[in-house]
Amino acid sequence: MTPIGWAAAAPAAALVVVDDLATSDHERARVISGPEGHHLQRVRRIATGEQIVIADGTGRWYLARVVGSSDGRLTVERAGVTHIEAEPTPHLTIAFAPAKSDHGRDVLHQLVELGVDRIVPLATERSVVRWDGEGGARALERLRRVAQSAAVQCHRARIPVIESPSPVASVARRTGLVVAHRDGGSIDSIVVPEFDEWCVIVGPEGGFTAAEMDLFGAAPLVAIGPHVLRSVTAPVAIAAALTAQRTI
């Protein structure tokens, strides 16, 4: 049985995401080159003898020891068995309307650190960010790169899924829906959903329109504190509050 363990708890100087994590615990050497190798060897100055985590982005990872370091390349050897990160429950999806200033990059980075499983850029009637055309496709690709970078920085072996932008009507049909709203109840009033997943929907500056609120039906409303939160604060605040209620 594959042991469960958090990559962030490993005694490692860095985490590297690779496409082809070996399935055998007897794999010997691996060379880390390209942009990752350059960053680790030239920028981070990780040296022979140090340890790093090799992960595949889906939760599987192992500890490796650096046995060679030169010219923007690291050679590493496996120093432990393959682990898999746990998936806390309920699973947590955050759908939020990104701000125009950064298309949601800062918010997304923090959601990754908090352990959110899925992130949905939300298109609302009051959204400023538009997702159509080539510009929207490039913005989405940037968010996915941010997600991987954030996972690497916080030593998270499981990169969350960044979905394509979705309209409110589509997200409103999901199971386990929770609506962030200043007139809602406390976080303690939110029960564990029947399908073991929370999907939290957070509106833009100015909130949801009346027509959008009608789409949510009987979904519970939840507020974080007595104040009006900015659209860049609310997704992170509610994700942190619900993360504290998840179990492993």
Domains and CATH numbers, the chain: 7-84 (2.40.240.20), 91-243 (3.40.1280.10)
Helices 133-153/105-114 angle, 10° precision: 40
User: When comparing pLDDT for 228 and 122, which is higher?
Assistant: 122
Residues 221 and 181: beta-carbon distance below 8 Å: yes
Q: How far apart are CA 157 and CA 165, in angstroms?
A: 24
CA angle 130, 132, 133 (to 5 degrees): 130
Rounded to the nearest integer, the mean pLDDT of the chain is 89
63: phi then psi, degrees, rounded to nearest 5: -90, 135
User: Where does the pLDDT of residue 100 fall: very low under 50, low under 70, confident under 90, or very high at 90 and above?
Assistant: confident
Q: How confident is the model at residue 206 (pLDDT cuts 50, 70, 90)?
A: confident
Per-residue pLDDT tens over the stretch 8-27: 999 999 999 998 886 556 66
Task: Say what the pLDDT of residue 2 is.
Answer: 72
Per the listing, tokens 């029960």 go with 191
Confidence of residue 56 (pLDDT cuts 50, 70, 90): very high
pLDDT for 24 equals 57
Q: What is the pTM of this model?
A: 0.90
pLDDT number for residue 117: 97
pLDDT in tens, 148-203: 999 999 999 999 999 999 999 999 999 999 999 888 888 887 776 777 899 999 99
Predicted confidence at residue 122, as pLDDT, reads 92
The reported pLDDT for the residue numbered 25 is 61
The number of residues in the chain equals: 248
- Asked whether the beta carbons of 93 and 117 are under 8 A apart, the reply is yes
- Contacts with 10 (C-beta within 8 Å, 6 or more apart), sequence order: 51, 53, 61, 63, 80, 155
SS3 48: coil
Can you tell me the distance from the alpha carbon of 216 to that of 214, in angstroms, rounded to the nearest whole number?
Answer: 5
Q: Answer yes or no: is pLDDT of 102 > 80.
A: no
pLDDT tier, 74 (very low <50, low <70, confident <90, very high otherwise): very high
Res 209: pLDDT: 94
Q: With bands split at pLDDT 50, 70 and 90, how would you rate the model's confidence at 121?
A: very high
